[in-house]
Chain A
Amino acid sequence: MKVHVVVKMKRKRVKDRDVCGTTLLKTMEINVAEAEKRTGKNAVNMLETYTVYLIETRPVDTVSEGISPTPDSLWRRYSEFEILRNYLLVTYPFVVVPPLPEKRAEFVWHKLSADNMDPDFVERRRVGLENFLLRVASHTALSNDKIFFTFLTEENGWKEIVFETGFQAKADSRLKALNATFRVKNPDKRFAEMKHYGDELQSVISQLLRVRARVADRLYGVYKVHGNYGRVFSEWSAIEKEMGDGLQSAGHHMDAYAASVDDILEEEEHYADQLKEYLFYMDSLKAVCRKHELTQFELEMAAQDLSSKKQQREELATGTVRTFSLKGMTSKLFGQETPEQREAKMKVLEEQIQEGEEEVKEKNSECDEFVNNAWCDIERFKDQKDHDLKEALISYAIMQISMCKKGIQVWSNAKECFNKM
């Protein structure tokens, strides 16, 4: 699939819109130019076929000056993209990290192959991967990451470098935490609403994609059946004297009409991909909200712990047992402690309280920092989403218009031919 790079660029969905901070995209041009099949031995020493994607990078200045030097390039496979993304998720928990294109084709209608080796699928994945890189490269925080830069520039050894960061372990504990159930007493309402929004959007976009797939399937049927007209008109024209010419030429238009649906539906696939991107984005969004809950929960736990320790100190000082505790029971049963014992305990408690207060202070600022950073990124994401989806809806309308124009042309031509019958 050696197609000139410029042609593929029109599929880019991301532009560098960030006003504040520098992003990589300002200085570097990034493309996922090609895809290729490879065969090799995998981890268990078995032969497998997989696809690799060519990432090309070029300094921006040269392009704008009209010089077009050969870009630097390297090959990456999908699994490496996944590793990069996991690393980013763990390292920047307050960022709504862009999603990768789907691993397997979902929401297919009958014509599309669900096979990962299908060239259409591979092409759409290529576009999706490029989009992912561009989104990361245009994010102020993410684009300045060293690992990301190495991903784009160092083909060999990148995997070792990324694993050295130890992100894998963090990734595991993150997953565990995200899936754990806990109740937060005072979550930030905005995050709760965002999470709810994420659920709603996932549900409605899934529904939309399913409906769209069924509609595409039916539309395909309608167009293709018209091809039969072409065939029968041609046969029929052979036995007619005056009607023959008109029939024959009308038949050609029927064939053209039937064939036109393939392009129409391919265009629509790109629209579906735009919707899918935001469907998958919702996982990241919900993860950020979840992370807030987690930090808030930890803060609340620390505060609760501190408060209980303070209470214990108070009880120890005043000798009253207000809450039921094993100590209280034992002291009742076995008699009270000696003043020395009490003093020792008090000292431990004071230490613990001091530690606890430090902890709470830390957690508090962690929480605040997270809320600020996360909310900032969420606002950025909201703007991006509103802009991108609006563009998508407009492009959908443009697609419909194009489809209508084609239809008008074909049927006007057919009508002329029918008039000559």
Chain B
Amino acid sequence: MKLRKEGGGIMSGSATEPAVLPPSPAQIVPTDLSEQMLELDDDDDLEVFSKDVTVTDGGAFSTSDQISPCSLLNQYGFEEEEGDSNVKDIFVTVDNPESHVTTIETFITYRVLTKTTRSEFDASEYEVRRRYQDFLWLRGRLEEAHPTLIVHPLPEKFVVKGMVERFSDDFIETRKRALHRFLNHVAEHPILSCSEDLKVFLTAQAWELTSHKKQGPGFLSRMGETVRAVAASVRGVRNRPEQFNAMQEYVESFGQKISSLDKIAQRIVKEQKEYLEELRECGPTYTLWSGSEEELVEPLKGVASCLDRCCKEKEDQVRQLSEHLAPTLHEYALCADTLKAVLRRRDNIQAELEAKNDALATKKIDREAEPRERGVVWQSLLGRDPEEARQQKQHRLEGEIVELKEDIDKLEDRVEWANNALKGDWNRWQRSKRRDLRSAFVHMAEKNVDYYEKCLAVWESFLVSQRTEFGDGAERRLPSTS
């Protein structure tokens, strides 16, 4: 963390780095490198970038990311980060949903507030308005730039169950809170929070964001990625390291359990709401009864008022459940999907490496092989000198082999980087998961205790009011439990 501040370099995954650098004192040599890189004019940058695209299979994977020592240090920094969350230097909040009506559409924007002391930000406070699409874009970019890092999920586009109206207050509030959590997870991530895209997202004016969005890998290169990804996943990976097998197993089980819990939590909310609906009828019935009585008016009204107050407390309790536990469980169910995707992408990178190794092996065999059977006949048909043809072929093969070896070198680096990134981020995710889920369940238990304590107080005060009137009847009350 400290290094990042001092370095002031921009470590992000975006393809084009705007040449705006905060003036930084000449310090450690490594950061100078990245500054040098950035002084290359645009064309060179793009060329370098596009070359890398074919090799790395990750859209916005830039060379600055590959060699920037700060990002390497950040990797190692994962392990040192156990419980170190006090060094928070960026605070983000999402609030204040507002409706925007244009001739074409109506949509909601949310206010995004940023407070930071990071030097790569020009100011210390920013206020912008963003819509859901913008969040989707940001997450997409982050995943593209860091295919084997775990990016927190976004709330879903729409809720299929329950026919939630797109613009209902509840829906908007739930989404707002989920967006807030998303941004906070990103801002707390040591690598993701350095993303240029994140910075633009948090600071840019609407038009600036739009133009920034237009940059980045084009549609075709992204298509190329997808094709490659599909091909890789069809190929499958052969020697997945055991560590990742264990992760895969864990993710499968975890995903199932969390999904179950998600469903249970939602079911409980539903049952509580139905209970509350029925309970609301009780108070009024006792009040109605009191209208026919003389001596019993006070106790009946007392019971009615107790029931009404208990209803209020139940409302509170249910709201707490829907606002905290349920969404958290749902998010971690979505996380399981994210994790599966991350593992898949890692597998694909490794699969590509394996494929290239296979290709290399084949080519080597080709090189050693006697061309007699295949090539000679063909060449003589074409009227070429067989010996010349063979030499041409050998030459070509050698060239291909050299190229393949270079590719493989790069891929090996890439695989190692991807594996390390994932390993580091996995531990980080585990800690974050534990913290989030623990706090969600503790919160639920607290609110449940709260509910019962408040109801207890209500009924006890009723008893007190009755006992003072009842006098000698106190001993005649029924024992409450066996």
Residues of A within 8 A of B (CB): 10, 15, 197, 200-201, 204-205, 207-208, 211-212, 214-215, 217-219, 221-222, 225-226, 228-229, 232, 235-236, 239, 242-243, 246, 250, 263, 267, 386-387, 389-391, 393-402, 404-405, 407-408, 411-412, 414-415, 418-419, 421
Contacts and interface: CB of A to CB of B under 8 A. Distances in A.
Contacts of B253: 239
Contacts of B453: 404, 408
B480 A267 contact: yes
Interface residues of B, number: 59
A197 B260 contact: no
Contacts of A263: 481
A398 B480 contact: yes
Q: Which A-B residue pairs are the 6 nearest by beta carbons?
A: A415-B445, A218-B275, A407-B452, A404-B456, A236-B257, A386-B295
Given A226-B268, A267-B480, A401 B456 contact: yes
B286 A208 contact: yes
A389 B279 CA distance: 21
B434 A421 contact: yes
B434 to A, nearest CB: 6
B264 A212 contact: no
Interface of B: 250, 253-254, 257-258, 260-261, 264, 267-268, 271-272, 274-275, 277-279, 281-282, 285-286, 288-289, 292, 295-296, 299-300, 302-303, 306, 310, 434, 437-438, 441-442, 445-446, 448-449, 451-453, 455-456, 459-460, 462-463, 466, 470, 473, 476-481
Given A408-B452, A421-B441, A10 B271 contact: no
B296 A400 contact: no
B257 A394 contact: no
A328 to B, nearest CB: 52
A3 to B, nearest CB: 12
Contact of B460 (A212, A386, A401): A401
Nearest to B445: A415
Nearest to B457: A404
Contacts of B250: 239
Contacts of B267: 225, 228
A197 B300 contact: no
Nearest to A207: B285
Decide if the interface of chain A is mainly helix, strand, loop or mixed.
helix
A287 B260 CA distance: 58
Given A222-B268, A411-B445, A398 B289 contact: no
A395 B480 contact: yes
B299 A390 contact: yes
B449 A394 contact: no
22 contacts: A201-B289, A204-B289, A207-B288, A215-B278, A215-B282, A219-B275, A221-B271, A222-B272, A225-B267, A228-B264, A232-B260, A236-B254, A246-B438, A267-B481, A386-B295, A389-B296, A390-B299, A394-B470, A400-B306, A407-B448, A414-B448, A421-B441
Nearest to A382: B295
A415 B481 CA distance: 25
B478 A391 contact: yes
A249 to B, nearest CB: 12
A393 B264 contact: no
Nearest to A405: B456
B295 to A, nearest CB: 4
Contacts of A222: 268, 271-272, 275
Nearest to B281: A211
Given A207-B285, A214-B278, A236-B257, A401 B463 contact: yes
